[in-house]
Each structure stands twice: as structure tokens, then as C-alpha cells.
Structure 1
Amino acid sequence: MTIRLGLGLPQMRQYDIGKDVPDVARAAERMGYESLWVFERALFPEPATQGLYGIEGLPWPDGYRSVAEPLVTLTLAAAATERAELGSSVLVAPLHVPFQLARTLATLDAASGGRVVAGFGTGWSHDEYAAASVRPFAERGAALDELIGVCRAVWGPDPVVYDGHVTRIASAVVGPKPARPIPILLAAGSGRARRRLVDHADGWLPTGVGADAVASQWRQLRELADERGRTAPIRTSLRVNARCTPATDESARRRPFHGSVDQIVADLAEYTGLGLDEILLDLQSTLRDAEELKDVAAQVYEKARAAGV
């Protein structure tokens, strides 16, 4: 079975969000990309108070200085397209008020004809949690649990009833409803996060950390699903943060998905036998503008399909 291919939408500061998001979304759909994706980065602390991903000394990418709000970006893409799914990889869910996020996603799904894919994670930035002031960082797991519960309730039949730590709905009609059940996908690295995924989510959002590592994680997740009696399939959408640059000497130590279009496609091919449903490519960070993004995206798509990806 051919892996579905998705494309990350332009959200960084070199892009004209209002003009470029609809333009790239339309072009990507014409190229054959089956889904369009956003990510969330709420702020850029300066000076940095912690390293990237919470790793001491690891600098934040300069591109994170300005990242467009993800749900606004998806709305722009939804209005410009007809078929492509509209996904988040990921929304840092605990930064959002659960009831409002559930309603926003339901409205977007209804407006787009049932194309939203809700990808959630807990994030790692203490500064973002402090700025959002919904729940403290220490409560991120519990916050995600509640948000999933609120979404399922709000998207389900009326009357909606929910009694949680932040959200309390005694009994209410809440609309509009999604056009179809919105799939919830989770980024899950730890044991507890994997259990949450197996028990409460529809799919998994791995990242391209190496084909062997992803294969091992995928095997562990399937084994856990068997142990916990899950029978529903787990949807998989691999996120690839690619940096398209002039060809890198293969005799040197090259990071996966860093290099020319041909090298990026060769890296993609390593994932074709893992049984994943989809690969989403975020190519935007090193490209100058929307025209270059569309050109590189077209090359990657054409060459990936020619290579059997």
C-alpha cells in the first residue's frame, strides 16, 4: 500500500501568512499531497530560559521567533482546498482552554466537510505554559487527559455533560458538531503517554528520528495495544522536519532529511516498509519564500512517488 504524503503549511516569518498559506495549500492539493499540517510554537523566550525540547544548552531554531497560530493557519488552508485533510502535528494541547479548543475544532471540521485531524502533544516549554496560564507544566499529562475527554464529550451527542478539573458542563446543547468523528492522534514517547494513546486516542504521531528507532517504537506500541486489549487500528502519521540544502557529501555524517531533494527522498524510502499510514513533510524552515516551498514540495512529491514511496 502506498504511503499517504502530507505537507507542512508555511507558518514561519519569511512567509506572508494571509497570501502564502492559501496559495501553498491549493498548490499542494493539486500536486497530490493528501493532507496539510501545522505545528504550534507560541513564543520565543529571549534570553532562553531552557534549551530546545528541555535539553540544556540546545538552542532554539531561529525560525521559532515567529510561528503563525496553527488553527488560524488551518482555517486559511481549509477555505482554499476541497479534499486534503487538515492536521496538527502537534497542538500543544494544555496551552488551550479545553472547551474552546473542542468547539473550534468541531466548527472547522463542520466547515471543511470533515477533514480535521486533531494531533495533540504535551509540549516541553515552561515559558509557553506560564504564558498560557491554563494549567501548570507539572499537570500537563492530566491536562491532556481532560482535554481529550472534553473533546469527546463536546463532539458527541447532546446533551453534553462533563465534570473535570477545569471544565464543568452540567448539561448543554453544544454545536456545531463535527461532520464526522474527528480522529485524535497523540505524540507519545513515554510509557504513560503510550498507554494514554492506546486507551484513548485514534493514532500516533511519531517523528523521523531514524527508521530503526521508529520501527522499534511502533513495535512497542502495537505490543502494548495487544496487552491492553485494543482491537481498533492505530493510525500513524510520521512527521519529518526536512532541511533542503545543496547535496551533502554522503561520506560525511549527514543528519536524516538534511540535504538535497534526492537525499531527502532516499531517507523517506527507508520508512516504506514499517507499515506507517502517512508521512508529513515540513520543508518550510530553510526555504526563502512560498515559490521555493512549492517548487521543492513538487520535486519531493514527484521523486518520492517515482521511488515507490
Structure 2
Amino acid sequence: MLIGLSTPVVVQTPATASSWEAGADIEDIARIAQTADRLGFDYLTCSEHVAVPAADVGVRGAVYWDPLATLGFLAARTKRIRLATSVLVLGYHHPLAIAKRYGTLDRVSGGRLVLGVGVGSLQPEFEMLGAPWGDRGARADDAIRALRASLCEPEPVYHGEFYRFDAMVVEPHAVQARVPIWVGGRSRCSLRRAVELADGWMPFGLRASEVAEMLAAVDVPDGFVVALPTGPVDPRAPSECLKRLRRLREAGATAVTCSLVATSADHYCEQLSALRALAGEL
């Protein structure tokens, strides 16, 4: 099972963020990423929101660092850990813009990109950006197909329902032969989208039993990644931490995205070491 990290500080939601994160700086983030890299964690994440409606801040939080700038910085400060968007909102971008920007990230990181994508759920944010809302699901399907045709190609060709392009050159492009695409969401439609069009599913806001039930209803391809969030875990309570990780694995997780309880950046790095040791017992 892959062990990933929900990078602290760069996303601060009330349900998972610790108080120390509000005063942290970029060097704290870099040190945490370097520690995770050295310890052998598989990936770290960064989410996307351009602007959160004030009415939703109490639930979603207000802090969302831009994933491209953040992961580009962390690419330069790490060596092997993969860099995952969790998630990029497809409706906010043309597929070729994603292919250029994140293909460049794949290039500068030496092929470490995992492109996590989602349909999006904040209608006011869509409206503020002038992005279509009502047909965003169909547009997302078409965008994923367009991305598959363009991420790793210098002269991509695609003719779909919403996106069409040819006779265009996109350089640089991704260096991986196939950039992993993981689909976020919490619905059966998101799982269908992931199984049919992508390489993995990274749901949120679901109980382990709900995930297991949804996975049992589909034919999951070989090598398909199911990345489940742990919620806040504390390796200082090892039995409870292991219990949660095993429960997620039993529900179908092939990867877990961990959020750690900590009191400072230094303590967070200590918690990473403890979690890495515990993961060896899975």
C-alpha cells in the first residue's frame, strides 16, 4: 500500500489543520517534504481553489496554496517523492493549458507528477471564473480524454465533444510515457469516471464501508489505485493508527493519504518518522 502525505500548511481545512500551520512558512513546508522524501513516503499533495466563498470558509477553510507553484518549489527541494494534485478542478482550465503547465512540472521534477483531477463542487467559484457549471461532469470526461491525448505528446490531436485541437505544438510536455491520472470525488459517477478514463480514484468524505460497497459494484482494472484519506492520525497512539490504516486497506485502499496530528513543524517531522516505522507493520 502506498503511503502518501496530505501536505500540511498548503491546505488548511478546519477538520484536519493544526494550529501551528497558521504561522508556518515555506521553509517549514520544504523541511517536511524533504523529510517525507528521505523516509520513503510515496507522494505528497496540494489542492486547488482559486477563491473560496466566504460562506464556505467555516467548512472548507480559506488557505489553498496554488498547486503548480507549490509543487514546482517542492520538486526542487526533493528527489524521489511523487507530486500529486489533489485535486485540480478540470473546469477551470483548458486541457492544453494543463498539459503545458503540468507537463513542465513533470519535466522539472524528473517524471514525478501524479495528476489528480476533479469535477468541482463550488458553484460560486465556477461563476466567478466564468466556467460552465451545469454540464461540468460531461466536460470533465471530455477533458480527461483530451489530457490523455496531450500530456505526453508534443503535437497532440484530439476531437471531442467540448475540446478539439490539432496542428498545435506543446513543448515542453510530460516526460513520463503515461502520467498517472487519479480522479477525486465522492460519488458513484466519480468512481465510474476513474475506472473508465483514469488510473486511480481518490475519494473524500466517505466512510470506509461506503468505499468498499462502491468498489464492489465495479470491475476495478489491474494496477488501479484507490487512494483513501486517513483523516488526522497520531503515531503516538500506534494501535489506533494501525487500526485505521488496516481498516482502509480492508475497504480497498491501495494508497492512503495521511494527515498527521502535530504541534509544530519539528514535531510533524518526528511524527513522519514514527508513521514510517508503523507502516512497516502493515
TM-score bin, normalised by smaller chain: 0.7 to 0.9
Deviation at 1:156, TM superposition (A): 4.0
What pairs with 1:130-169 in structure 2 (closer than 5 Å)? 130-133=127-130, 135-164=131-160, 167-169=163-165
- Gap regions ≥5 residues in structure 1: 53-58, 226-230, 248-259
Deviation at 1:109, TM superposition (A): 0.9
Aligned counterpart, 2:167: 171
Calculate the TM-score normalised by the size of structure 2. 0.84
**Aligned counterparts of 1:110 and 1:206: Cα–Cα separation in 2:** 27
Preserved contact between residue 38 and residue 89 of structure 1 (Cα < 8 Å): yes
Aligned counterpart, 2:75: 78
What pairs with 1:164-203 in structure 2 (closer than 5 Å)? 164=160, 167-180=163-176, 181-203=178-200
Aligned counterpart, 2:28: 20
Preserved contact between residue 84 and residue 116 of structure 2 (Cα < 8 Å): yes
Preserved contact between residue 17 and residue 68 of structure 1 (Cα < 8 Å): no
Residues 32 and 115 of structure 1, relative CA distance in 2, 3 Å threshold: same
**Aligned counterparts of 1:272 and 1:220: Cα–Cα separation in 2:** 17
Q: How many residues align?
A: 271
The farther-off stretch of 136-145 and 153-162 is 153-162
Preserved contact between residue 98 and residue 146 of structure 1 (Cα < 8 Å): no
Pair 1:298 & 2:267 matched:
no
Residues 236 and 192 of structure 1, relative CA distance in 2, 3 Å threshold: closer
Aligned counterpart, 1:60: 59
The farther-off stretch of 162-171 and 80-89 is 162-171
Aligned counterpart, 1:240: 230
**Aligned counterparts of 1:28 and 1:83: Cα–Cα separation in 2:** 10
Aligned counterpart, 1:39: 47
Q: Which amino acid aligns with 1:268?
A: L
Q: Rg: which structure is higher?
A: 1
Pair 1:215 & 2:212 matched:
yes
Q: Percent identity?
A: 28
**Aligned counterparts of 1:192 and 1:44: Cα–Cα separation in 2:** 24
**CA offsets per residue over residues 77-134 of structure 1, 9 Å max, x none?**
111111111112222222233221121111111111111111111121112212322x
Deviation at 1:139, TM superposition (A): 2.1
- Gap regions ≥5 residues in structure 2: 13-20
Please state whether the residue corresponding to 2:80 is helix, strand or coil: coil
Q: Which amino acid aligns with 2:100?
A: R
**Aligned counterparts of 1:37 and 1:173: Cα–Cα separation in 2:** 29
Please state whether the residue corresponding to 1:21 is helix, strand or coil: helix
Q: Which amino acid aligns with 1:143?
A: R
Within the candidate set 80, 87, 98, 1:90 is matched to: 87
CA RMSD of aligned residues (A): 2.7
Deviation at 1:185, TM superposition (A): 0.9
Preserved contact between residue 157 and residue 165 of structure 2 (Cα < 8 Å): yes
The farther-off stretch of 273-282 and 23-32 is 273-282
Residues 262 and 68 of structure 1, relative CA distance in 2, 3 Å threshold: farther
**Aligned counterparts of 1:142 and 1:39: Cα–Cα separation in 2:** 22
**Aligned counterparts of 2:149 and 2:249: Cα–Cα separation in 1:** 36
Preserved contact between residue 96 and residue 132 of structure 1 (Cα < 8 Å): no
